[in-house]
A = this chain, B = another copy of it.
Amino acid sequence: MIDFEHIKKLSHTSSSKIVLLVIDGLGGLPHPKTGKTELESARTPNLDQIARESICGLSDPISPGITPGSAPGHLAIFGYDPITYNVGRGILEALGIGLNPERGAIAARGNFCTINAQGIITDRRAGRISTERNAELCHLLSELKLDAKIVVTPVKEHRFVLLFQGEGLSPELTDSDPQQVGLLPKEVEALSPQAGRMAEIANEFIAQAKKRLKNESQANMVLLRGFSQRPDMPSFHEIYKLKPAAIATYPMYRGLAGLVGMEILPTGGSITEEFKSLQHHYADHDFFFVHFKSTDSRGEDGDFEAKAHAIEELDQALPVMLKLNPDVIIVTGDHSTPATLAMHSWHAVPLMLRSKWCRPDNVTQFSESTCINGGLGRLAAVEIMPLAMANALKLDKFGA
C-alpha cells in the first residue's frame, strides 16, 4: 500500500475538481420480506444514472468484520489509516459540539452521575437531568481553580465535555468512569510517567467537583472518560495538495473534516441546501466533502422505510450537484447501518467513482448486490482517495 510520503511526492495541483459524497451508514441488509436492502428498495434514478457512468465496488471501512465508529469510518475515506490515526472519545465529543481543541489540550467526555452516601454510583446518567440544568452545573464547575485552564461545556442531558488547556498535559490516563452502577468512581491513573501531573489535575477536578455538587440530589458527582488530544496528522493540503472544503450539517463531521484541514463551509440543514452551498463555493476549492447524515440516523432508529426514504430524498437533490459536472464524483458511505440491526455494522459499503477516465463497468444500479460485480472489486476505504486523485489526473507516475 502506498503511504502518505509517496502520495505527497506524486500529487500535484490542477484545476480539476473532486466531490466526495458520503452517505452516512449507507450500507444495509435485506428487508426480511422483500430481500432488498434499504438502497435497493429506494427509487434512485440519479444514483443509478451515476452508477452507469461509474466504476463501482464494495469498500471495507477498516477491514472485513470490523465495525467502525464515525471517526475511523471517515478518516479511512479521507485516506488516513484509521488504526494509526485514532481519534479519542473526548476529542470526538468536543468536535461533536463544535469545539476545536488545539493540539496539546486534553479533552474528556464527562457524565453527571448520582452517588449514594457511601460514594457508590447509583445512576451513571444522574436521571438524565435537563440540558438547562446541565448548563448551569457546567458553569459552576468552570469556576474551579486547578493547575490547568479548564473549559466545561454542556452537551445534552447529563453529558458534558471537559477541556484541559496548558503546557505539558498528557492524555495517557485511565477513565474514572467504571461504566457500571454499584461501584465507586475510579481514581484516574497515569498510563505513563509523564502523565503523572495530568492524573493529579484530573483527580483534583473530580474531588473539587464532588464538593461543589454535594447538595445536588441527582447530579452530585462526575465521571470522566476518553482522555485524548487532537491527533497529530498531516493535512489534506500537505498530502494531496488540495484546497479542500467540507459541507456537513452535524458538528462532529465538520470537526472531523477540520482535523484534516478542510475549510468548513456554511450550509442549511437539508441536503438540497448542502448542494446549494457546494454550488455557491464551487469556484473556491478543488475538493469537496459533502456529508449526508439522515441515512445513518434512520438506520440507527431501526426504521427501514425512513432510511430508504432518506436515500430517495438525497437522490432527488442530486441534480444540483450533477449540474456542476465535477471531474470526479465519489459516492459511498463511511460504514453500513442496517435498519434491521439498528446500529453501525461491519458490512462492506457500495462505492462508485465517476470521471471521464474511470473505465465504467457493467453496473447499472447503485446497490450492495450490484456493486459486488463492479470494476473496483472489494477494496479498503483508504484506497478511495488515491483513486480519486488519479481520476482527477492529480497524481504523477510512480517510479521511472
A interface residues (Cβ-Cβ under 8 A, vs B) = 1-2, 6, 10, 29-30, 37, 58, 62-72, 82-83, 86-89, 92-93, 226, 338, 340-341, 343-348, 357, 359-362, 368-369, 372-379, 383, 385-391, 395-400
Contact = CB atoms under 8 A, between A and B. Distances in A.
B63 A383 contact: yes
Nearest to A373: B373
Given A64-B387, A362-B369, A83 B2 contact: yes
Contacts of A86: 399
A84 to B, nearest CB: 12
Contact of A69 (B64, B346, B374, B399): B399
A345 B383 CA distance: 16
B89 A400 contact: yes
Given A63-B386, A65-B395, 10 more contacts: A58-B375, A58-B377, A63-B383, A67-B390, A67-B395, A68-B399, A69-B398, A71-B399, A368-B375, A377-B377
Nearest to A89: B400
A82 B58 CA distance: 26
Contacts of A379: 64, 378
B357 A29 contact: yes
Contacts of A347: 359
Contacts of A345: 357, 390
Contacts of A400: 69-71, 87-89, 92-93, 226
A394 to B, nearest CB: 10
25 contacts: A2-B66, A2-B83, A10-B66, A58-B377, A64-B376, A64-B387, A64-B390, A66-B395, A67-B396, A68-B397, A69-B398, A70-B400, A72-B398, A82-B398, A82-B399, A88-B400, A92-B400, A226-B400, A338-B357, A362-B369, A372-B375, A372-B377, A376-B378, A377-B378, A378-B378
A399 B62 CA distance: 11
A360 B30 CA distance: 9
Contacts of A37: 359
Contacts of A88: 400
Contacts of A386: 63-66, 346
B390 A346 contact: yes
A361 B369 contact: yes
B373 A372 contact: yes
Closest 10 pairs between A and B when the two form their complex, measured CB to CB: A65-B386, A377-B378, A72-B399, A69-B399, A65-B390, A65-B387, A346-B390, A92-B400, A89-B400, A64-B383
Contacts of A344: 397
A368 B359 contact: yes
Given A345-B357, A359-B368, A376-B378, A62 B92 contact: no
A338 B10 CA distance: 20
Contacts of A66: 2, 10, 386, 390, 395, 398
Contacts of A83: 2, 6
Contacts of A87: 399-400
For A66, A82, A340, A341, the residue with the greatest tally of chain B CB atoms inside 10 Å of its CB is A66
Contact of A30 (B63, B64, B359, B385): B359
